[in-house]
Amino acid sequence: MEMLRSPFEIETSQLVWDSRYRYAGVAGDQCIGDSWRRVARALAGIETSRDGDWEARFFDLLDGFQFLPGGRILAGAGTDLDVTLFNCFVMGPIADSMEGIFDALKEGALTMQKGGGVGYDFSTLRPAGTPAMSVGSRASGPVSFMRIWNGMCETLLSSTSRRGAMMATLRCDHPDIEEFIDAKRKPGELTNFNLSVLVSDACRRWQMTPAGHWSFPRRRSMMPISRKLGHRSNAIGRLTRTWFRVWCCARFLRASCGGGSCRPTLIAQSQVCSLLTV
């Protein structure tokens, strides 16, 4: 008798399904077909129209990996687990106060506890060294608070089988942008984060002045860059270091997209940092 052919082409695929997406409850998945049937039944359960067998139609789409839903759907749909079916969440603005920062941290922890990935823009936090008048101290900057997020993610990782996923962004005109860009160059630093620099149109229009100096934007809501960095040579170094990342990333994107069909000035990424337009 001919043996049934496994739907998995390699053992690694089966291992990923078994460890990440297989439901191991009382009526758990015995095979990948059970996972597809579970998801199809859950999706069909919310259809109000009785026009046809929705479960069979959804199953036909999933069968044989013709359509692959998001990981949280495949893992959570049709189970009795209290989890999210969304992979990623864009979290709200982080208020520049101790209460606001830790409220945002709590929201992120609860979201990741249910299986969702989170993304934050840390540009709202004041730069390191800025006076905190109400308590008579100085701010430690966004990167220092990102380490708290990273530690929270590590703690959640120790209690679940799913690795936490976080993304952090910082505007290119934030005074702490260099520290942000270089943060992951240190081994073991912010290992649970993907980092992206938000590049504005003003940043892309940085240019040399007739006097031979770089002109670059400043944000009224932040400490002036010249006051933070000290003198023009440091500012030029900041500009050069930021755009050097673009050059490295653009090479990576051209290679991966096949012969320069990508537009690396719009989105670029590397293992250290990426650039996104805003």
Taking only the tens place, the pLDDT of each residue in 13-58 is: 889 999 889 998 777 899 999 999 999 999 999 888 777 789 999 9
CB atoms within 10 A of CB 157: 14
Residue 263 scores a pLDDT above 50: no
CB atoms within 10 A of CB 25: 11
Q: Which of 53, 42, 18 is nearest to 32 (CA)?
A: 18
Measured in Å, how far apart are the chain's first and last C-alpha atoms? Answer: 61
Q: How high is the pLDDT of residue 215? A: 52
Mean pLDDT of the chain: 76
- DSSP secondary structure letters along 12-36: HHHHHIIIII---STT--SSHHHHH
Q: How high is the pLDDT of residue 4? A: 52
Cα 118 to its chain centre, rounded Å, is 6
CB atoms within 10 A of CB 95: 13
Domain boundaries, the chain: 11-76, 88-277
